[in-house]
Amino acid sequence: MIRAALALLCLPGLASANELRSVPYDTLRALPHRIGTFDSLPSVTEPGVDFHQHWRAPGLSIAEHLLGQRLEESHTAHGRFDMLKGLPSAPLRVIPGPPGQNFTVAHHAGFGSNALFPLGPVGNTGADGRGEGSIAIAFDDPQFAFGLRLHAEYPDPLGQRPMPQTAQVAFYDADARRIAEIVLPLGHGVISLAWRSGQGVAALTIQNTDPGGIALDDILYDVADLSG
């Protein structure tokens, strides 16, 4: 569960906060849908399978950032992280990072399956590089209901690890205009996230400042709306 509310920043093009709203992940998953996983790859432990190119699945593509954005390095008390700068260009297209700094896919104990680890400035050679990167997801068709699952930290009953921090998620329409941006307080374990949008979301980017980094799995999209 997310213990703090999402901070939704309304931007030009967003008529009201209701244009992009959080909904229960399982509610969308109960409808006809596609789900993007990484289980077609061998299940191997970290550092996993290092991808130097984009990930392609029916209806979506994943890589480090979007065309038109640039990447800078953010130094924080919790480590070194990717920081996205600038707005993407239309038509939207995902762009891989340099070899060793794009993403890796490995078995993730928290998910119990393969997951994607965005690689940060340290790269795939160190545990402090796996999860600290940025990631971009572009859909072939704008989405009006979609979701994903994130993992930031394992349960820490003894309180010996740093507290989870935040992730920043930005949403873009097919013309590469930013619809909205949220600051997502992270917690221990898997966080299931889903949204409905009054405007079609063609792409989203995720960056974070979490000490342990993040992992991504179970991208929910092409959800059939049965209300009509």
On the CB side of 159, how many CA atoms lie within 13 Å of its CA?
0
More confident residue, 74 or 103: 103
State yes or no: pLDDT of 23 exceeds 60. Answer: yes
Could you report the per-residue pLDDT of 149-188, keeping only the tens digit for each? 999 876 666 666 778 889 999 999 999 999 999 999 998 8
State yes or no: pLDDT of 119 exceeds 90. Answer: yes
Distance between CA atoms of residues 198 and 20, nearest Å: 6
Q: What's the mean pLDDT in 5-11?
A: 42
Distance between CA atoms of residues 162 and 217, nearest Å: 23
Residues 6+ apart with CB under 8 A from 123: 100, 101, 129
pTM check: above 0.85: yes
For residue 116, give the 3-state DSSP assignment: strand
User: What tokens appear for 123 in the block?
Assistant: 């790269």
Domains of the chain as residue ranges with CATH: 7-221 (2.60.120)
Amino acid at 57: A
